[in-house]
Chain A
Amino acid sequence: MSDDDEGGSGLMGWVIFILIFGVGNAILYFTTGIFIIPIPRR
């Protein structure tokens, strides 16, 4: 399977990867996740 055919290679791809999956999810989790994820008892 070729991974590079969508332009995912290179430093810019990894920066975008970290921004979306790292920073983006951290923002999403701390702004909405901690409110919408319930802790069901047991």
Chain B
Amino acid sequence: MIDTDRCQATLPAREPIAAPRHAVKPAPTFLSKLMRLPRMAGSCALRLGGITAPLCRGGWWIAWAIAIGILPVMISFAFGIPGHQWFSALLLAALCLGLVREDAWFRGMGLIGLTFAAHSVVVIALSTAAPQRTSAILPHANAYWQKQQTWIKTGEDPEYRLEAWVPAHLQLLAASSLFTFTSLGTVTFGQGFYEVDLMNFYNAQLLARSQSLPLALLLGWHVWSVLRGLGYLVLTFEIISLSLAVWSGKRLSSWRTRAGRWGAGLGLLAADGVAKFLLLDVVRQQLEINLL
């Protein structure tokens, strides 16, 4: 029997094959340089996350959420200039990058949820106290309230028909996913603040014209809208994470975690549709009865 270990020990170690001296690394072509740009941008996004991540450690994310939710809109209100929705969106997206980088999904969703909640409380308060001045900084809010008023009083709204809202919601899901991916959440947050403010202004007007304020607030912020908001909260965090992973080339989360977030987000959007289908008329009737 041959002692293979001894045989191998006596063999000379293999020398690595040296590259020929005349071989020169080819100069990068214009196309190859162009292909590196997304990765450069992704690396910078990851670095930005590295800068913002420490800001959200401990309980600091709570303070940041409240500040981002209320300060831009209050400044906007004080000066009568719109634009707070995009300013808040930029700040929120920057902080989310830090939490996405650490795959801190619990704090990430807490940050997004609390920012929107704090923002909503302030916008409802401002819209109740000074509706004219507030509507000037909330694009299309007054027109939205008029449409809602017609729906509550008549029950008629073509946009609430099944054949209208199902395609609209599927389109919203596709567009939101696309823009979350391309903008690392900024466009989705900006659009989210815009849509939430339509609801906030409508709720403030409803409160001013209702007998029971708690009932108006409870039903005015429709349960299906809340479910949709929560669904997009989960999906937005997940798609920012996916986007940052693709742009930067880093693995930021496990596929199991990603699957869980997609399941939860899509489940909440499906629940939005079911709740709307089942409760639409009941909610409308209660809102109408509650009107002054």
Contact = CB atoms under 8 A, between A and B. Distances in A.
B256 interface: no
A17 B176 contact: no
Contacts of B39: 6-8
A9 interface: yes
B231 to A, nearest CB: 12
B168 A20 contact: no
Contacts of B47: 3-4, 8-9
B168 A17 contact: no
A39 B176 CA distance: 11
- Interface of B, helix, strand, loop or mixed by DSSP: helix
B36 A7 contact: yes
A37 B184 contact: no
A5 to B, nearest CB: 8
A11 B169 CA distance: 41
A21 B41 contact: yes
A38 B173 CA distance: 10
Interface in A2-27: 3-9, 12-14, 16-17, 19-21, 24-25
Given A41-B157, A41-B159, A16 B40 contact: yes
A35 to B, nearest CB: 9
Most buried by B among A7, A13, A14, A40: A40
Interface string B37-48: 111111111111
B224 A8 contact: no
Contact of B248 (A6, A16, A37, A42): A6
A9 B40 CA distance: 8
Contacts of A9: 43-44, 47
Interface of B: 36-48, 50, 101, 147-148, 157, 159-160, 165, 168-169, 171-172, 174-176, 179, 182-184, 186-187, 191, 195, 198-199, 222, 224-225, 248-250, 276
16 contacts: A1-B250, A7-B39, A7-B43, A8-B43, A8-B47, A13-B44, A14-B44, A16-B41, A21-B182, A25-B179, A33-B179, A36-B171, A37-B176, A37-B191, A38-B168, A40-B169
